[in-house]
Amino acid sequence: MQALFSPGSLITLAGALLTVIGSIAYLTDSPNLSLPTIFYGVPIFIGGLALKSSELPPAKRLSPPAQFKALRELPESEPLRKLLVDVVRWRYGQKAHLESSLEVLKLWDEDVPPQLLSIEELDCQGHYGLRMHFQCGAVPLEKWHAQQDRLGRFFGADLVAEVQPRGQAEFILSLLPQAGVPVP
């Protein structure tokens, strides 16, 4: 259902609708209606298809948006808030969420990149944290463990990263406040 209401889908549907209306108007000799609708409908339809072909859906959000609103609005939560906003929106022209960040951290593979599957907000004794579920892709889990210290500092000055394996090809990346609060 979520894919039906993506911007790419809506633009494609609008272009298709205009094209159909223009075609019907052309066949019924209504030049005032057919010319503008076909003239605008076909390019909008093609543009929508182009968006649809490069679409990356948002990561699944496991916690309700209103549940951690107070913690998310704290000034020290800003880096994680920006990260959350970035991964829960539609992306175009990217292979995976956090693509540029993972490239900088040398945790990127061009052919089979790591995929962010879901994200969950955490309350760490009054501090804000995030837990992200990744599929490894072609980047081995050992590489993620080797970059664990850098991951926390990269996403925020006062953050600690914890990498926990989940099976062969998946893991959980938790970004927690420096206070060393255990994850619930």
Same domain, 67 and 113: yes
Same domain, 72 and 138: yes
Total structural domains within the chain: 2
Same domain, 148 and 112: yes
The pTM score is 0.79
Same domain, 98 and 129: yes
Structural domain for 36, as ranges: 3-53
Same domain, 31 and 66: no
**Mean pLDDT score of the chain, rounded to an integer?**
87
Contact criterion met (CB below 8 Å) for 18 and 4: no
pLDDT digits (tens, 9 = 90+) for 157-177: 888 999 999 988 899 999 988
The answer to whether residue 183 is domain-embedded is no
Alpha-carbon gap, residue 16 to 19, rounded angstroms: 5
Reference 106, options 79, 135, 146, 163; nearest CA is 146
Question: Does residue 1 surpass a pLDDT of 50?
Answer: no
Alpha-carbon gap, residue 173 to 150, rounded angstroms: 13
The answer to whether residue 147 is domain-embedded is yes
pLDDT digits (tens, 9 = 90+) for 24-78: 888 888 877 777 888 899 999 999 999 998 898 999 988 888 888 787 787 777 8
The answer to whether residue 13 is domain-embedded is yes
The answer to whether residue 98 is domain-embedded is yes
Same domain, 82 and 106: yes
Above pLDDT 70, what percent of the chain? 95
**Tokens 């010319």, residue located:** 35
Same domain, 31 and 103: no
Reference 171, options 180, 147, 101, 150; nearest CA is 147
Same domain, 40 and 120: no
The answer to whether residue 164 is domain-embedded is yes
Report pLDDT for 2: 60
The answer to whether residue 182 is domain-embedded is no
Domain CATH for 158: 3.30.980
Same domain, 98 and 154: yes
What number of other Cβ atoms are within 10 A of residue 13's Cβ?
A: 14
The answer to whether residue 117 is domain-embedded is yes
Report pLDDT for 67: 87
Same domain, 128 and 103: yes
Same domain, 110 and 35: no
The angle subtended at Cα 129 by Cα 177 and Cα 105, nearest 5°, is 80
